[in-house]
Structure formats: structure tokens, C-alpha cells
Amino acid sequence: MNSQTNNKKTEEDEIFMPVQDYTGQGFSFDNGEKTGEFAKKHREEIIKVVDQFFKKEYGLEVTPHNLVGAKNAVVVFVESKQEPYFHTSVVVGVNIENNKISDDVFAYEGSVEGAIMSGLYVMAYEKEFKKLDEFCEMIAKKYPVVGMRQEAVNNTRDTGYTTPYYYTSTLSMDFPLAYNAYMKNHSIQKSDLRELIFKQQFESEYAPDKNCIEISLTFYMKKRNSNPEKKLANDIIREFKQTKGLPPGNYAVFNQSNEINKKTGLDKSYQGTTPGIDEILIKLYK
């Protein structure tokens, strides 16, 4: 191995890490070094502000996992403590020069509401999502693939209902009947949520053969430092299409490289479906 190859490998080692080792170390945003240090010193104060925000705005309790510095702010990655289960993030403004933390917590428009709605969707199709969990576990046993570590999910993901193998994505405005009913009554029955989701779909501007929720399945290569394989991706997609009883949704299925970019938490490369082109649709049903 020549020096040029050695240098390239060293650079890649600084950027990428095997998924088995990744827990979110190195995850960061641009211009967040100073606010990141500020967050470490003022962690409890920031968490208190975030807790108050979720209780006041949504009547929910969350577990803050990771505080990441950003420009004039700290991004806090949280997980809900009870159903609906979801991961999301919020932004807390900080002024490090004046040593102040803002009470004004905010998020990208609709992101928290969408995360909550994804958790409500999983509640409504609880049996079907258990089937999806079983499918993912079967794939991990049958093929040389693994999921992301739960610590990495907690520290880097704000993608709604998220597991080591998949995440869901939707907006509260896609299912306002179910979302508003839950916000009025946190004790709403799961069967009622399901009925409202189904009703919304068929009374909305969307055609009945469409679906408002995206479900992305991700299987990382198990062999360290290995690249994704097209044949393996096709085998997993074939297995998926042959499985019955899965929750309705627009599915993307990926076989991803073993290595993850430490800073972004994203894969190095992938094989599988192409979003917006050959996603797999399972139509909504009661």
C-alpha cells in the first residue's frame, strides 16, 4: 500500500466510522463549536427550557438525548417518553457572550407536529408495525446486514417514529382529523385514530391509491468498511414485496454502506429503491 493510499485511508477514517461503532460521536453543525461547549456547561438549564416547551405546547414529556451546537443556538434531539413514540429536535437560542439561554424554543415549521403524527400513525397500525419490526429482524438474521445502534438513533435522528431499521415521515396537516383529535384528548383509542386516518385519506385532495406517509427501511452492511451490494438490495426488496400484513405507506428500501459519516450521521453510499421513482406502495386500509 503506497503513501497516497495510506493518506486517503487516514482521511476516510477521520470522516467515516463503521455503523457498529457509531453512537453519534462527531455529529455536528457548522459554526457550532462554541455553542456546543456552552451547551455542555449549561445542559441542565437548556433541558429545563425544552421540557417546559413540550409540556406547554403539546402536553408531552420527552427525554433529551443530545445537545448539538449551531450558530447562535443549540439543537436538542429528544425522544418522547410515552406514546405516541417519536424522535424530533428543537432549537434553543443562546447568547454565549452574555451567558444567556432564550426561553424561545422553536423548530422547523411542522416538524414536531409531523413527528407526533408519525407516532400516532404507528399507534393506529400497531399490529402491522410489529409485523414490520419482525420483518426487519428476519432480514438482519438472514442476510449480512445490521441496523443502526439505538444510541445513534437517539443522538442524531429527528425523523419521527424511528427504529434502528426504519423511520416514518409525515405531516400533521396530512392527517389533521387524527392529529387534532389526539391534541384534544391524549387518551384517544387507537382504533379511533385508525378510523380518522382512513377517513381523512379518502376525504382529502389525495387519491385513494396514494398515501401520505413515507417509510424508509435501511439495512447497513455488516462487514466493516464494506460497500452496499445491488444484488443484496434486490433480495431484500423481493423479500419485502412478498411479505403480507405490513402497514400502509410509501416505502423506500436501502442497503447502505457499513460506514457512516461521523458529522452528518449519513451513509457513505447505498443501493436500493430510488425515492420518487420506484417506491413501493402499500395502499391505506382500515
Q: Alpha-carbon distance 273 to 18, whole Å?
A: 23
Here the cell at position 41 is: 456547561
Residue 154, pLDDT score:
98
pLDDT tens digits for range 21-30? 999 999 999 9
- Strands (E) in 43-134, as ranges, are 62-70, 73-80, 87-95, 100-106
Residue 28, pLDDT score:
95
Residue 235, pLDDT score:
98
Residue 275, pLDDT score:
80
Q: Which residue has the cell 407516532?
A: 119
pLDDT tens digits for range 40-71? 999 999 999 999 999 999 999 999 999 999 99
Residue 10, pLDDT score:
56
**Ranges in the chain, pLDDT < 70:** 1-13, 202-211
DSSP, residue by residue, 14-46: HHEEETTT-SSTT---TT-HHHHHHHHHTHHHH
* Torsion angle, alpha carbons of 122, 112, 218, 178, to 10: 20
Here the cell at position 222 is: 455488516
Residue 212, pLDDT score:
75
Residue 134, pLDDT score:
98
Q: At a CB cut-off of 8 Å and minimum separation 6, what does 253 contact? A: 217, 233, 236, 237, 240, 272, 273, 280
